[in-house]
Amino acid sequence: MNVTVEYLGKVDGKWLAVPATVGSQIKGPCSRIDLMKDLAGIDVQAMYPAGSPPNADAWTFDTFLKAAEACHKGGHAFGIGVGTTGDNVDTAGAIFHGFGAQLVNQKGDITVKSDALRQALDYYKRLMAFLPADAPAWDDASNNKWLISGKGALIMHPPSAWAVAKRDAGDRREALDA
C-alpha cells in the first residue's frame, strides 16, 4: 500500500474505503538517457544503477528545472502535459505533494491559501517556460508520442511510454534509450 491509498481511504485514522486505487498514481519520469546526459549533464544510469540502491540525492526540483531548461535549449523539451486529463493531473498532484501543497486537507478543509501551494504554482510557472507550447492541450497519449517522436528528453508516466515505445518504435533509439 502506498501513501496515496492511505490518504484516500483513511479518515481520522480509520479505514473508510477498501485500500486500493486504480493505478498507483505515483508516476515518475521516463527520460531519454542519452539526451539527459548530452544536454543536461545528468547520468540517469549512475543515479539509478541496476541492482543497486539509487544515488539520486541531487535529483531535486531545482535540478529538474535546470535539466528542463537545458533540454529545452537543446531542442528536446520535457514533455509534461498541463491539461485536465488523468496523466496531467497526476503529475500536478505529484509536484504539489513535493512542495507539501494540498488543496483539501484530511479533515476536508479547503487549504488553497498556503505558502506550499504558492511555491508549487510558482514552480509550475517557471517549468512552463521549458515545456512545449501546446502542453496545455495534451491528452494522456501526447507525452508518449512526444518521447517516441524523438522530440522529447523526459516525460512523466514511464510504464505506458516505454511499452508504447517498444511496440511502435521497435529497435529505434527512442525506445532503447528510455
Name the band, by pLDDT with cuts 50, 70 and 90, for residue 170.
Answer: low
Calculate the alpha carbon distances from 112 to 23, 26, 89, 150 in Å: 26, 22, 16, 38
What pTM value is reported for the model? 0.81
Kind of pairing between the strands at 154-156 and 78-79: parallel
Q: pLDDT for 2-23, tens place per residue? A: 677 777 778 888 887 766 655 5
Quickly list DSSP for the chain: --HHHHHHHEETTEE-S-S--SS-S---EEE-HHHHHHHH---HHHHS-TTS----TT--HHHHHHHHHHHHHTT--EE---SSSHHHHHHHHHHHHHTT--SB-TTS-B--SSHHHHHHHHHHHHHHTTS-TTGGG--TTHHHHHHHTT--SEEE-HHHHHHHHHHHHTTSHHHHT-
Quote the CATH superfamily of domain 3-176.
Periplasmic binding protein-like II (3.40.190.10)
pLDDT at 45: 94
Residue ranges covered by each domain of the chain: 3-176
Q: Which of 124, 139, 122 is nearest to 88 (CA)?
A: 139
* Per-residue model confidence as pLDDT tens digits over 131-143: 999 999 999 889 8
Q: Which tens digits make up the pLDDT trace of 40-78?
A: 999 999 999 999 999 999 999 999 999 999 999 999 999
Q: Give the span between the Cα atoms of 136 and 174, in whole angstroms.
A: 24
Among candidates 173, 153, 155, 175, which has minimal Cα distance to 165?
A: 175
pLDDT greater than 70 at residue 173: no
Q: End-to-end CA distance of the chain: give it in Å, rounded.
A: 27
